[in-house]
Amino acid sequence: MALFYMHGTPIGYVAILLALVASMGGFIFGYDTGQISDILLMNDFKLRFATCGTPNNVDTCEFSTVRAGLIVSLLSIGTLVGALCGAPTADFFGRRYAMVIECVLFIVGVIIQIVTVGVWQQIAVGRFVSGLAVGALSAAVPMYQAETAPTRIRGTLTATYQLFITFGILVAYCISIATRNMSGAGSWRTVVGVGIIWPVILGVGILFMPESPRWLAAHGRYEEARHSLARSHGIARDDEKTNAFLLAKVEDIRSNVEYEQHLKAGWIDCFRPANKTLYRTLLGMSLQSLQQLTGANYFFYYGATIFTSVGIEDSFVTQIILGAVNFVCTFGGLYVMQRFGRRMPLIVGGIWQSMWLFVFAAAGTAKVPQENPGIGKLMIVSACMFILGYAMTWAPGVWILIGETFPTRTRAKQGALSTASNWLWNFLLAFFTPFIVGAIEFRYGFVFAACNLLGAVVVYLFLYESSDLSLESVDHMYNDPQCKPWTSRSWAPEGYSSRYDLVQQTKAADAHKPLVEGPDESRLEKASQSMDGTGSSTPQESIRA
């Protein structure tokens, strides 16, 4: 039975579970991101892996800029490679089994790190191996969630990936502050070793979830695709062959898959101008790059070091405050992306984030924070306000868009290219930030402020509003020559007068009420016949439910 109805669309408990379980991939990424900032300050870690002027005297131990940059950033190089490998892996093995393989790989990376005694290169290599898994998961998880989640709550469920990233960062901060005073290597090995728990949860839990119905349909397994949709919508197995809503959904996917099977889907096809494929590839890569250029990871990777430099005595506590703001505000992001769509939150978020980064940079540049406690406090408040805006807009929004912007035939590859660009900038920022901060100090914030404004402009000029549409309808919207990004909020599939009409007509249809206008009911009969092998349709003829 359906757990609840959203605009008349049945939503099953499995849809909620699959989003939560798959989002453990985001938790893994967040935990690995959050731990390194505090580990770099732990005494035993510095004694083992930093350069010490006097043996066994932690006060003389410091990481060189290059060494610190490599330890932090090699994770990002791994994620860059992993994201590109994640597409063929997810296409070949299926979304679920690809995640299982990637979880095993992450565990291998953790083991490499915790068995080292005093070789910093082994820590870096272990983070690289873990990064391979994190990158592949970052491509597979949002794609799996978008392909499996019911249309009406797709934005919210896909955004749980970002929610779990923030949760992972917060948990890493909390565990770090709990272990920092442990004697010997236990202080940092505990933080790293606990990371094994999360891939175990994901690798086992995902096996109990349904496979992506679109992946199943692309491999000719329509009966399984129908069952997968039925589970996510809470439709009883006995009703699968007669439920009009379910038959229409499967027919929609079938017609789209059959249409796309006539088209090639290699890597080169991601860069073909036809059907706005190149347009969407470049848009996805730009949005993922700009998400990194917001400056969020400037605080997450080097936050402890930053707040030490502004005179904060216990930077670990400040990190927890930032992590808590990030996590709590992401709940607001789930609502914002569901209620206000994709475009407006990203535009407003870009402007908001730019304002507070300007305050942060101006305050740190105007006076020396260590000599002016009030300036240090203003900088912390500015950082928190920036994180508030980021967590509610750009953080969840970009991951949602990566799952729902691309056509089925190239979705995995375009998603991989987009996330790879995210990880490329992640690496560049992680590695070069120590050098840049050493040269321009807090004026670095002005660079990120400008990038946030650029992001708002890119969204306004190029991003189409994809909320409330099926993935197949999103593809048609991008190919409609009459639709422009700034008018896309009112676009609706053929047969509907507006996006609002689409929602209302779908609600009426799902409630088995007579339709005043919208899709012809004969389509439902055609969908039923097609499932029995007696009919067929094209994407333009199928229902955009």
CA angle 220, 224, 227 (to 5 degrees): 145
Amino acid 539: pLDDT: 40
Amino acid 537: pLDDT: 41
CA 477 from centre of chain? 23
* DSSP letters spanning 424-468: HHHHHHHHHHHHHHHHHGGGHHHHHHHHHHHHHHHHHHH----TT
**Domains in the chain, start-ordered, CATH in brackets?**
14-209+266-462 (1.20.1250.20)
Query: Which helix (H) or strand (E) is 210 found in, with range?
Result: none
Amino acid 409: pLDDT: 80
- Residue 8 makes CB contacts below 8 A (sequence gap 6+) with 506, 507, 508, 509, 510, 511
Amino acid 516: pLDDT: 38
Amino acid 59: pLDDT: 82
What region, left, alpha or beta, does residue 494 occupy, with left being phi > 0 and alpha being psi -120 to 50 degrees?
A: beta
Amino acid 311: pLDDT: 56
Amino acid 535: pLDDT: 43
Q: Which two tokens stand for residue 191?
A: 């933080």
Q: Is 7 helix (H, G, I), strand (E, B) or coil?
A: coil
Pick the closest to residue 488 from 349, 283, 335 (CA basis).
Answer: 283
Q: Which two tokens stand for residue 423?
A: 């990880």
Amino acid 449: pLDDT: 95
pTM of the model: 0.73
The rounded distance, in Å, linking the Cα atoms of 211 and 207 is 9
Query: Which helix (H) or strand (E) is 470 found in, with range?
Result: none
Amino acid 112: pLDDT: 95
What's the 3-state SS for 58-110? HHHEECCHHHHHHHHHHHHHHHHHHHHHHHHHHHHHCHHHHHHHHHHHHHHHH
Amino acid 545: pLDDT: 37
Q: Which two tokens stand for residue 162?
A: 């970002």
Whether residue 286 contacts residue 458, with contact meaning beta carbons closer than 8 Å, is answered with yes
Counting residues of the chain whose pLDDT is more than 90, the rounded percentage is 26
- Residues of the chain with pLDDT below 50 are 510-545
Q: Using alpha carbons, list the distances in angstroms from residue 300 to 34, 305, 339.
A: 6, 10, 28
The rounded distance, in Å, linking the Cα atoms of 68 and 71 is 5
* DSSP letters spanning 270-317: GG--GGGHHHHHHHHHHHHHHHHTTSHHHHHHHHHHHHHHTT-S-HHH
Whether residue 271 contacts residue 278, with contact meaning beta carbons closer than 8 Å, is answered with yes
